[in-house]
Structure 1
Amino acid sequence: MYLEHFGMQELPYTLTPNTRFFLQLPTHQEALNVLLVALGSGDGFIKVVGEVGTGKTMLCRALLNTLDKEPCVTAYLPNPYLSPEALRRNFALEIGIEDALEVPDYELVNRINLRLVEIAKAGQHTILLVDEAQAMPEETIEALRLLTNLETESEKLFQVVLFGQPELNQLLARDSLRQLKQRITFSCHLNTLSNDAVAQYLEQRAHRAGFDGLALFAPGAAKLIAKASGGVPRLVNILAHKSLMVAYGRGEMQIKKEHVRHAVEDTEGAAAVARANPVHWLLGTGLVTTLLCGAVYLAWLRGMI
């Protein structure tokens, strides 16, 4: 509703992993560089761990887009909560075995091996990306490890990148999975954003969405978002989006601390912040709801005019 008001062509702070908004912030760019180096070195297992909302799926999609320009075949599992057989069938479909659902399971590993050899002979690499890997059942992880035993005398036939929450570390620490853990040659951790990185993140996403002003967020507003979000990109997006709605409802062109405070009060998971205006806080989320409803009404009214 606020796009025209701020001169934007698309929403800048959505929760969908739109890779057009993947920014070269230090923590994420460093992780992407590590992944590309590790994959280029032929390493079998690579692990990326980050807290909820730190941008793992966005990084995964950015890596997929980068690999599309390379001589490789990529397989992507967004939901790995699968049985061992389902894992093999999904992987087989991803690498181009079209009748994978009809092939008996006892024959499937051989078909996968033949397909992987075919890909390698064509001068390509096969890479499997597993998102939310902490949800993978233990027996399925073991089945994946056994699949990676498929190799030639000189190289692995495919590589695996695991993206997961910190629970993935706990899962791999089990004694029964020690063989897989020993195969992880590269591991990186996605950190939260610093105050400066949050300010950069907010402005860069706004400009990529079409905003052409000098500064959409006042310095104090950006700092408050950084503090309340803990530097978690998902929370940054939620708070920024709500702050824009409040500012739009008031007809204002720059996001100030006051707008952010209302957004924080209306957002579960946001940290408690200094409350500079106790009167507004006593009104609670009712004021936020009023402002947001006013923004909706204003958008409707402008449409009617």
Structure 2
Amino acid sequence: MEDTLRTCYEALGFTQAPFSITPDTGLFYPGSRHVAAYKQLYHACTTGVIAVLSGEIGLGKTLVVRCVLRSLPETVRVAYLINPLMDLPDLLRSIGRDFGGPALPNNAPLSVLHNHLVETVLEGARDGARFVVIVDEAHRLSGDSLEALRLLSNLETERSKLIGLVLVGQPELERTLALRAMRPLRERVGVWLKLGPLSRDECAAYVRHRIKRTHRDGGFEFTGMALWWLQWQTRGVPRRINLACERAVLLAFAMSTRRVTASMMRQACREFSEAWA
């Protein structure tokens, strides 16, 4: 299937897949909300501020985080957790390993894991390093894990915080942080961000941006009505936009054209109508 897609794209003039749903930082769309999220997360990662980024599935949260990771200076050591469904010892062990700490046995008690992690951070700070923990799918974290992360983020010198914390998740994360038990963490959050869907104009700009970045000569287009239908059917969710556009591009290949019309877009979106209902 992958080889077939590559053949189709090459025949239509694309140098790479224009609408892949994988978080390709090279195709980052510089829309106002995504750029603002990028800048504020970068600030949080380099200053020790606690930040929360929330949004529904498919809005581009992970892509924003990946862009931040690519641009951080070498002095920032990152523990990037993409699987928060781990128990507390494994969580601390994973963070310590990413921070460059020593490997510890699986049966090491929590106190030992925590102390070694603190020692790793203090030693790195003496050499000018900063640290940040970024948790994707953070709405899946347990209350104990969130509390442990809060305690870690308390580590500081007289001048600055030593460990930043970025929590990225679906709207359930906001509801979790609104609980009374989460008040100590919630009151320390310095950056609250929420991604939303793309407007009609943003959707059109998003599609054109991806074509511009991946097509040899820009000689591929979506008609105005195709873009209108696309935004209406996908509700402006980037992941849905990518899925629908990929199908539409394949239809264009089958019809030997470099132009996606409204009827082709309707057909492409029809495949996902039940999933998006």
Question: Would you call these one fold, judging by a TM-score over 0.5?
Answer: yes
Quote how far apart the aligned CAs of 1:96 are. 0.8
Q: Which residue of 2 aligns with 1:16?
A: 22
Q: Contact between 1:229 and 1:270, CA under 8 Å: does it hold in 2?
A: no
Aligned residues: 270
Question: Where does structure 2 lack aligned partners over 5 or more consecutive residues?
Answer: none
CA pair 150-64 structure 1, distance change in 2 beyond 3 A: same
Please say if residues 80 and 135 of structure 2, whose CA atoms lie closer than 8 Å, have aligned partners that are also in contact.
yes
Q: CA deviation at 1:74?
A: 1.1
2:54–2:194: 8 Å Cα contact kept in structure 1? Answer: yes
Q: Which residue of 2 aligns with 1:301?
A: none
Q: Which range moved further: 144-153 or 171-180?
A: 144-153
1:26 aligns with 2:26: no
Alignment of 1:61-72 (within 5 A): 61-67=66-72, 69-72=73-76
Separation (CA, whole Å) in 2 of partners of 1:65 and 1:181: 28
User: Post-superposition shift, 1:238?
Assistant: 0.4
> Retained in 2: the 8 A contact 1:82–1:140?
no
Is 2:55–2:194's contact at 8 Å kept on the other side of the alignment?
yes
Aligned mates of 1:24, 1:269 — CA distance in 2: 30
What is the rounded CA distance, in whole Å, between the counterparts of 2:67 and 2:46 in structure 1?
A: 16
Q: Distance in 1 between matches of 2:205 and 2:83?
A: 32
Question: Residue 199 of structure 2 contacts residue 231 of structure 2 at CA under 8 Å; is this kept in 1?
Answer: yes
Q: Within 5 Å, give how 1:129-168 maps onto structure 2.
A: 129-168=134-173
Query: Match of 2:91, as an amino acid?
Result: L
Q: Are residues 1:100 and 2:104 paired?
A: yes
Q: Secondary structure at the match of 1:258?
A: helix
Q: 1:48: how far off?
A: 0.5
Shift of residue 100, structure 1, vs aligned partner: 3.0
Residue 290 of structure 1 is matched in structure 2 by none
Report if aligned partners of 2:46, 2:130 keep a CA contact under 8 Å in 1: no
Q: State the distance in 2 between where 1:79 and 1:190 align.
A: 21
* Shift of residue 247, structure 1, vs aligned partner: 1.3
Aligned residue in 2 for 1:242: 247
Distance 1:113 1:271, change over 3 A: closer
Deviation at 1:221, TM superposition (A): 0.8
Matched to 1:193, the amino acid is L
Rg larger for:
1
- SS of the aligned residue for 1:152 comes to coil
Whether the 8 Å CA contact 1:148–1:157 is kept in 2: the answer is: yes
User: Residues 24-75 of structure 1, C-alpha deviation per residue, up to 9 Å, x if partnerless?
Assistant: 11110011112223344432x11001111000111111111111x3521111
Map of 2:263 onto structure 1: 258
**Do residues 81 (structure 1) and 81 (structure 2) align?**
no
Secondary structure of the residue that 1:244 maps to in structure 2?
helix
Distance in 2 (alpha carbons) for counterparts of 1:41 and 1:150: 13
State TM-score, norm by structure 2. 0.92
Q: Which has the higher contact order (CA 8 A, sep 6+)?
A: 2
Contact kept in structure 2, 1:227 and 1:271, CA below 8 Å:
no
Q: How far apart are the structure 2 equivalents of 1:31 and 1:234?
A: 18
- Tell me the equivalent position of 2:228: 223
Structure 1: which amino acid aligns with 2:39? N
Distance 1:209 1:128 in 2: 33
- Equivalent-residue separation in structure 2 for 1:187 and 1:47 (angstroms): 5
Cross-structure match for 1:176: 181
Provide the rounded CA distance (Å) in 1 between the counterparts of 2:158 and 2:107: 27
Q: Distance in 1 between matches of 2:104 and 2:228?
A: 52
1:269 and 1:140, CA in 2 relative to 1: closer, same or farther beyond 3 A? farther
Alpha carbons of structure 1 residues 120 and 161: separation in structure 2 relative to 1, 3 Å: same
SS in 2 for 1:8: coil
> Could you tell me which residue of structure 1 aligns to residue 57 of structure 2?
52
Q: Name the residue aligned to 2:42.
A: 36
Q: Percent identity?
A: 32
- 1:278 matched to which residue of 2? none
Contact 1:195 1:223 in 2 (8 A): yes
Q: Distance in 1 between matches of 2:138 and 2:248?
A: 33
- For structure 1, the residue ranges without an aligned partner over 5 or more in a row are 273-305
